[in-house]
Every structure is written in structure tokens, then in C-alpha cells.
Chain A
Amino acid sequence: MTFTQWRRQSWNIAIIVLAIGLGLWRINQLPQFGAYEARTFILGILPIALLSMGQALIIIGGGINLAIGAEAVLINVLSAKFMEGTDFKTSVILAIVFLLLGTGVGALTGWIISTSGIADIVVTLATSFLLVGVAMFVMPQPGGGINQSLANLIAGNDSNFLPPLVWLILPIVLIWIPLYRSRLGVAMYAIGSNKDAAFLSGVNVNLTRVELYAIGGLFAALSGIVTTGVTLSSSPFANISNTATLNSVAGAVLGGVSLAGGVGGLVGPVIASLVLFFIPTILLGFGIDPSYSQIVTGALTIIVVLLGGILRRRTGKIK
């Protein structure tokens, strides 16, 4: 393995070791650990892991989506509102409709960025306000529901942790692996790595960006519906979407995705979301106020970014 490849792998290994260490620590805190506790872990990370994956795709492609949390909140609110009291079949159809809607919202965001030529961060900041506003309009107060059979199919019940585990792994198997192997996957790394070289290689830069935002939107919609399935309700608040967005960025960065674009994958962010989940729960286990856990999470993210920066500064340039 070359140095760069080793370095990339070393990052994944480090984050896996960290996640396992924290996981063992958390398990040690619990009076017992079984299938039920495992399910709690998975449910704890599922929404944020899906969001981190969506964010990771966009960041690898050289962008960033500050509205990804708002996209998830909007789909959460819509699904909880319209799925409440429906039968299983209707709920499933609605779920598919909302997944498509999330994809469409993402595609539209990508199209606006490509067409306007305005920075991703500006456009998505604006769309985040817009989408949360729409969510509050759809459902001004927390509430709603979902068909119980569908909820069980998403979140499992009691000690059945298989359904949420499937929802965690399925996107990797059905979306990430085919994407990575496709021309779109190469194009994604290409535009994030060097947009001009990508263009010269025949990549349609704008179309690729739209496609990435669309898939990011699909992940956000999955996250929103999963949240409905896990919590059996929805909350339309901006602080939820903001926290979710920032966690998705933290998850992607901790998971080895370079904010400069062109580097990373989707498995790292999933592992990283475990880390992000264990830190507050472990501190809570010690009876420490969860607000302090933000200090730890923040400090950890800074250290990781700092280390990455130092590793990258091997070139002769002083800047």
C-alpha cells in the first residue's frame, strides 16, 4: 500500500477502534447488554448515520448541504402528518412518495447551485430556512404518527434489532456500492478532486452535482421517515434541523471525508455517527449534563480536522 492509501485506511481503522472502545465503555456502564440494548444503539444512530451518508456524498463531490437537516425535518413532518392513522399499504405508498419528494428537493437544490453559480453554503443556508418554514407550516406543533406495522418494520420492537440494522446496511449495499462502482461515482470524486480536470475528462460537472444533491436528498428523506418510525411522531423545529445538519457534517468529517472534496467514503461516516452517539450517552451514564458532551464532541471534531490538516501539509508550500 502506498502512503496515501495507508493513511486513508489508517483513518478508518482509527475511527473503528475509537467506536469499539467507546462502545465497550458504554456496554460496561449498562447493567446488562443484550439484543434490546443493541437495538437502542442502532436506533440511536440510524437517523444521523443516514444523514451523514447523504452529507458525505455531497462533500466528496466538493459541495456541502446546510439544508440536509431541514430536508429530513420536512419529510419527518410530512410523513408523520399524512401517515397517522393510515393502513400499512397507504403508509408504504406515502413513504415511497416522500422518498421521491426528498430526492426532488435535493435535485432542485443542486440545480439552483449549478445554475446560479452561487456557493453551496449560501444556497443551502437559504433553502434550510425555507424548508423548516414549510415544515412549521405543515405541522406547527410536534405530533403526528405512523402505521404501527410500518413503524415495527423500520424500528423493530423489543429485542428485535434486525429491521433497524437492515435500514442501516441496506443503503450502503443498494446505493453506495453500486454508486461507487458506477461512472457517476467516479465523476463524484472527480468534481470534488479537481473540477477542471473532471471537465476535461468529459464529466458533466453540473449534472453530477445535481445527481449528488438528489441522492443526498434521498438519504435525508430516509432519515426523516426513519425518525417518524422510531419516534412515532415529528417535530418541526429549526434547532432540530440545525443540530442534525451540524452532526451530519461532523459525522462526515470524523468519518474521513475531506471538506476539500474528493476524499472519503460512506462507511466511515456510519462508524463516526456511532462515536457521536456514544459520547453523550456515556457522559449521561456518569450523570453528566449532556450539554457537556457537546464540548467533547466539538473538541474531538477539532482535533480530527487539525490532525488531517497537519498530515496534509507535507508539501513544500508554506501557505
Chain B
Amino acid sequence: MAENSLLRISSIAKSYGPVIALKNANFEVQPGEIHALLGANGAGKSTLVKILTGVITSDSGTIELHGKPIRFTSPDQARKNGIAPVFQDPALIPDVSIRRNLILTGTHEARFVSELAAMGLSINLNETAGNIELPILRMIDLARALTHDPELLILDEITAALPVDLADKVISIMNDQKTKGKSVVFISHRLAEIEEICDRATVLRDGIDVDTFITTKGSEERIVASMLGEKNAAARTLTRNFTSESQSSIQVEIRNISGGKTLSDVSFSIKQGEVLGVAALEGQGQNLLFEILAGEAKPTSGEIIVKGEKVKFSHPKDAIQLGISLVPGDRKTALLSQRSIRENLALTRFRGVLKWGKIKTKEEERSVDNAVAALQIDTRAKSQVKRLSGGNQQKVTIGRWVTTGFDLLLCFDPTRGIDVGTKQQIYELIRGFANEGKSVLLFTSELREIQMSCDRAIVIYEGKVQATLPINECNEENLMNAAHGLVSNQ
């Protein structure tokens, strides 16, 4: 079996600075098989695909193609060796016509057109890529990959947000490849698809391949179980004042919000003193939802109601003035990394400061000191926040709103890449806000943290609210199933 494998990856490791993306990944693909690559967010799937396609190189480990060791140093080299990827974000140049995009990858135009025709699509080759809808663009990207007649086709979340007819076409293309003796690596969050079309599946968790097996009917459970791993010991429980019976009034409500290519018809409300969890796989529209609530982006339709009044945001400052503050997912976008903790904490205090008046240094110092104490920020490196650890940086981004005051805090994945101890502190902080009667909307990519930190959770799948779960039902399995679109209670 080992001798005839098409591709074999052994003990691959890759770190980005202190963050370990892949610890020890093994993965093997045979000729003529459709192999699913699975894992929760941050398990290392994307990193593995990038290594396979020459986008990045691994720190250690070996790749063998047809039994011969090989090292991919560029996407072009990988393509020439018969490995063709189709990424979630199509790798087409937006400002350039499709024809010129084909020239770029040395793609044979006539063959490309016939591949596209086989999918039942026809496009104007002179059209600029940026003007074409995303689903069609993905199909174009796929047709381009097929034109190179790859030994191994890598499809990274291609079926996500594809309409059913196109998704079916992708699946029949995968089966065609298999019939021709070619292989496909298929990455998808739609577990139902995996069962139906894949021969084998490999599950990654925390940068290690934890399970490889032949998929059969009912593999779903095994997949979900290996994606989650052993349940972590229950974290310290936090005192909650909020219960589902709490009669507190509604802080913020959104009705039928749609926007961008992802969000459609999202409605929910948050009560005073409530922490509402948001669970979703990557790219289901949660980013846009937070941007809309923070006044960074405009919805195409729908209403935002703050304390009973309809509002419209045209700038983040409008949201801030109504007490809605965002702690963004990327700390770099929130912090002035070269400046001190004090300046960063005081940045949003302008509400209370005269526009042209002198900044009241004493008063500012006092409120900053209070925040530093309340948040337990390690101030040893206070002169430049970029020298703080990730966890302490995150505390500064939250602490900023402590000094300013808020009614609804939007936290986007606040514990990503943060150690367990600091995570606990951040959740204590969030619970403290709720106990004071403030509200928090919390998106986290770590599903197990929802039950510990939230009062209720909504699950977003393909831009819609797939499920609303009371806290006692927010176990990982329920969340994971809903996040994969498998169950719905809407």
C-alpha cells in the first residue's frame, strides 16, 4: 500500500513565531482516491495545504511524491508537479480579464473553455475577474486547475457558499477525476458531503493528524469526535447573575440584517446583563455581522434597534456614542502598537474630553490606573504595547472600553492565541461586565468556551442563524452540528 501512494507527508511541522500551526502532521493520498482533510478552525488544515502547494515551506518533515522526496518552494513548482489547488478565495487577479489570468498560469485557453463548457458554464473571457460573482469565479478557478490535468487536485472549502447546482457539479468533477485514476484532497465543513463522496478522511487537531479512516455511512460522529478530542476539564465556573428568566430589558436588537455576499436575514436580540455567544465556522458571515454592529460596514437591508430606538451607523463613532464598542479579532488593528499602554487605554476617552481642550492628565492617569488594576495588565513593558504578550494586548483592547464606558461590547474571538490562564481572566472580565448589567456579544472559534462564558448562543451557518441554543444545550457537539448545518431549530 505504501509503495503506490501518490503523496506521502511525514512529520511535518510549521510554526509562525511562537504560534505552532502544525506539530507533527502525517498525511497520505493514494492514486484514484478522494481524501477528506478535516479539522476544527485552527487545527492546521490551511497550513498543511499551503505547504502542499508551495505557498509556504515547512520547518521540518518530508514530502514524497510518487515515492520520491520533494520540496515545494513555489505554487508554480507544485503545479508543474501535478498538484493543482483551488482555494476558498479564488487566486484570480481582480483587475485583469479572465483571458489574461489564463496567460499568467500558462493555461491553454481552448482546453479551459471546454472544461468550463463541461460544467455547463460559458463566460466572456474578456470580462474582468473582479466583476464576476464569487461562485462562478470559484468554478473558473476549478476549470483552470483542471486544464492542467493535475494528478492531485486540492479543493479547499470550494463548496462553501456554492449554490446547490454548482456544488453538485463540483462533486461530479471529483468523481470524474477519481475514475481517471487521479486523486482529490477535499476540505469541507459540510460533513454530509464527506460521507457521501470521500473514500477516506484524515482529521487534524492542534497540528497533529489524530485519525485516518475509511468513510462510511455514519462517519459523521467519528469525525466530530476526533475533531473535538478529549473533553477539556471543566473550567472554573463563573458566578452568573443572568438567567434565562431574567426580566431585564433588551439592550440591542437586530432585525433581518443582510449584507455583502454572506449575511442574509439575521435577527436576534441581546438583553441587558446577557452574554450572547456566536458560534460559526470560518467565513459564515460573522465578521461582517460584527462590522455592521460596530458601524464599520453598512448592511444592505435590515434594522438595528438600540434601547428601543431604530438607529443607523455611518461611522464607528456613531456606534461608540450609542455605547456599542468593538474588540476586533485582529489586535493589530485595534492597538497603536508603538505607543504606551496609557495612550492606548485613553485613546477612546475623547467622549469625555473637550474637543480643543487640554487633556486632563491627572484624571486620565486615574482612570487608566483603574483599568490597569481591574484588568490585571502586566505593565512591565508599558512603554510600547507591541512588547506585551498577546493576552496582555487583548486586555488593553478591552480595557480601553472600560475607561470609556459601554453598554454592549462586541468581542470577536478575544481568546485566539492566548494561554489558558489569561483566557480565564478575560472570561472573568466579560462575566463581570454582564453582572454590572452590560451586554456582551461574543464570537469565539473555540466552541468549548461558549458554555463556560455565555448565557445563550446563536449559531451562524452560511450567513443565516442556523440555531439558537439555551446555555444548557450549548455543548460542543450541538454547536458543532449546528455550525456544520446539520441541525436547525429556527
| Shortest Cβ gap from B23 to chain A (Å) | 25
| Shortest Cβ gap from A78 to chain B (Å) | 37
Interface extent on A, as a size class?
A: 20 to 34
Q: Please encode chain B, from 75 to 109, with 1 for each CB lying within 8 Å of some chain A CB and 0 for all others.
A: 11001000001010111111110001101111000
| Shortest Cβ gap from B275 to chain A (Å) | 27
Of A2, A5, A198, A316, the residue contacting B93 (CB under 8 A) is: A198
Residues on the A chain within 8 Å of B103, using CB: 183, 186
Inter-chain contact B74/A202, CB cutoff 8 Å = yes
- Give Cα A4 to B126, complex, Å: 12
Inter-chain contact B105/A201, CB cutoff 8 Å = yes
| Shortest Cβ gap from A262 to chain B (Å) | 4
- State whether A193 and B127 are in contact (beta carbons under 8 Å apart), knowing that A200-B55, A202-B79, A203-B104 are contacts in the complex: no
- State whether A318 and B55 are in contact (beta carbons under 8 Å apart), knowing that A186-B103, A202-B105, A263-B95 are contacts in the complex: no
Contacts of B2-32 to chain A: CB distance below 8 A: none
Residues on the B chain within 8 Å of A159, using CB: none
- State whether A202 and B296 are in contact (beta carbons under 8 Å apart), knowing that A4-B131, A190-B96 are contacts in the complex: no
- Give Cα A34 to B22, complex, Å: 74
Q: Please encode chain A, from 215 to 232, with 1 for each CB lying within 8 Å of some chain B CB and 0 for all others.
A: 000000000000000000
- Name which residue of chain A comes closest to B74, CB basis: A202
- Name which residue of chain B comes closest to A197, CB basis: B91
| Shortest Cβ gap from A173 to chain B (Å) | 20
- Give Cα A197 to B85, complex, Å: 12
Inter-chain contact A4/B75, CB cutoff 8 Å = no
Q: Is A194 an interface residue (CB 8 A)?
A: yes
Q: Is A317 an interface residue (CB 8 A)?
A: yes
Q: Is A187 an interface residue (CB 8 A)?
A: yes
Inter-chain contact A194/B298, CB cutoff 8 Å = no
- Give Cα A221 to B89, complex, Å: 41
Q: Which of B55, B79, B93 has the most CB of A within 10 A?
A: B93
- Give Cα A187 to B106, complex, Å: 12
Q: Is B300 an interface residue (CB 8 A)?
A: yes
Residues on the B chain within 8 Å of A198, using CB: 93, 104
Q: Is A199 an interface residue (CB 8 A)?
A: yes
Contacts of A284-319 to chain B: CB distance below 8 A: 316-319
- Give Cα A181 to B326, complex, Å: 47
Residues on the B chain within 8 Å of A197, using CB: 89-94
- State whether A318 and B297 are in contact (beta carbons under 8 Å apart), knowing that A2-B128, A183-B103, A193-B96 are contacts in the complex: yes
Inter-chain contact A318/B315, CB cutoff 8 Å = yes
Of A202, A262, A319, the residue contacting B104 (CB under 8 A) is: A202
Q: Which of A5, A190, A198, A317 has the most CB of B within 10 A?
A: A190
| Shortest Cβ gap from A202 to chain B (Å) | 3
- Give Cα A131 to B39, complex, Å: 55
| Shortest Cβ gap from B76 to chain A (Å) | 3
Q: Is A149 an interface residue (CB 8 A)?
A: no
Residues on the B chain within 8 Å of A4, using CB: 128, 130-131
Residues on the B chain within 8 Å of A2, using CB: 127-128, 131
- State whether A318 and B298 are in contact (beta carbons under 8 Å apart), knowing that A2-B128, A202-B74 are contacts in the complex: yes
Inter-chain contact A194/B76, CB cutoff 8 Å = no
Q: Is A204 an interface residue (CB 8 A)?
A: yes
Inter-chain contact A189/B91, CB cutoff 8 Å = no
Contacts of B52-81 to chain A: CB distance below 8 A: 53, 55, 74-76, 79
- Name which residue of chain B comes closest to A316, CB basis: B298
Inter-chain contact A189/B100, CB cutoff 8 Å = yes
Residues on the A chain within 8 Å of B296, using CB: 317-319
- Give Cα A183 to B260, complex, Å: 33
- State whether A183 and B315 are in contact (beta carbons under 8 Å apart), knowing that A193-B95, A194-B93, A316-B300 are contacts in the complex: no
Q: Is B314 an interface residue (CB 8 A)?
A: yes
Residues on the A chain within 8 Å of B259, using CB: 316
- Name which residue of chain B comes closest to A263, CB basis: B95
Inter-chain contact B295/A318, CB cutoff 8 Å = yes
Residues on the B chain within 8 Å of A317, using CB: 296-297
- Give Cα A198 to B55, complex, Å: 11
- State whether A262 and B93 are in contact (beta carbons under 8 Å apart), knowing that A201-B104, A202-B74, A316-B260 are contacts in the complex: yes
- Name which residue of chain A comes closest to B78, CB basis: A202
- Give Cα A190 to B100, complex, Å: 10
| Shortest Cβ gap from A183 to chain B (Å) | 6
Inter-chain contact B104/A193, CB cutoff 8 Å = no
| Shortest Cβ gap from B108 to chain A (Å) | 14
Inter-chain contact B314/A189, CB cutoff 8 Å = no
Of B90, B94, B100, the residue contacting A186 (CB under 8 A) is: B100
Inter-chain contact B75/A202, CB cutoff 8 Å = yes
| Shortest Cβ gap from B74 to chain A (Å) | 7
| Shortest Cβ gap from A187 to chain B (Å) | 7
Residues on the B chain within 8 Å of A193, using CB: 93-96
| Shortest Cβ gap from B134 to chain A (Å) | 14
- Give Cα A204 to B75, complex, Å: 10
- Name which residue of chain A comes closest to B89, CB basis: A197
Q: Please encode chain A, from 2 to 43, with 1 for each CB lying within 8 Å of some chain B CB and 0 for all others.
A: 111100000000000000000000000000000000000000
Contacts of A138-188 to chain B: CB distance below 8 A: 183, 186-187
Residues on the B chain within 8 Å of A201, using CB: 75, 91-93, 101, 104-105
- Give Cα A284 to B297, complex, Å: 49
Q: Please encode chain B, from 101 to 139, with 1 for each CB lying within 8 Å of some chain A CB and 0 for all others.
A: 101111000000000000000000001101100000000
- State whether A200 and B75 are in contact (beta carbons under 8 Å apart), knowing that A189-B96, A316-B300 are contacts in the complex: yes
- Give Cα A318 to B317, complex, Å: 12
Residues on the B chain within 8 Å of A3, using CB: 131
Of B87, B106, B128, the residue contacting A200 (CB under 8 A) is: B87
Q: Which of A186, A201, A317 has the most CB of B within 10 A?
A: A201
- Give Cα A203 to B96, complex, Å: 14
Q: Which of A2, A192, A318, A319 has the most CB of B within 10 A?
A: A318
Inter-chain contact A199/B55, CB cutoff 8 Å = yes
Residues on the A chain within 8 Å of B94, using CB: 193-194, 197, 262
Residues on the B chain within 8 Å of A5, using CB: 128
- Give Cα A154 to B1, complex, Å: 72
Residues on the B chain within 8 Å of A194, using CB: 93-95
| Shortest Cβ gap from B330 to chain A (Å) | 14
Residues on the B chain within 8 Å of A187, using CB: 104
- Give Cα A3 to B296, complex, Å: 26
Inter-chain contact B95/A189, CB cutoff 8 Å = yes
- Name which residue of chain A comes closest to B127, CB basis: A2
- Give Cα A200 to B128, complex, Å: 18
- A sample of 24 cross-chain residue pairs with beta-carbon separation below 8 angstroms, ordered by A number, consists of A2-B127, A183-B103, A183-B106, A186-B101, A186-B103, A187-B104, A190-B93, A193-B94, A194-B95, A197-B89, A197-B93, A198-B104, A200-B53, A200-B85, A201-B91, A201-B104, A202-B76, A202-B105, A202-B106, A204-B76, A262-B93, A316-B260, A316-B300, A319-B296
Hey, which bits of chain A sit against chain B, CB under 8 A? 2-5, 183, 186-187, 189-190, 192-194, 197-204, 262-263, 316-319
Closest 4 CB pairs of A and B: A202-B76, A200-B91, A193-B95, A262-B95
Apart from A4-B131, A187-B104, list 10 A-B contacts with CB within 8 A: A3-B131, A183-B103, A194-B93, A197-B93, A200-B53, A200-B85, A202-B104, A316-B297, A318-B297, A319-B296
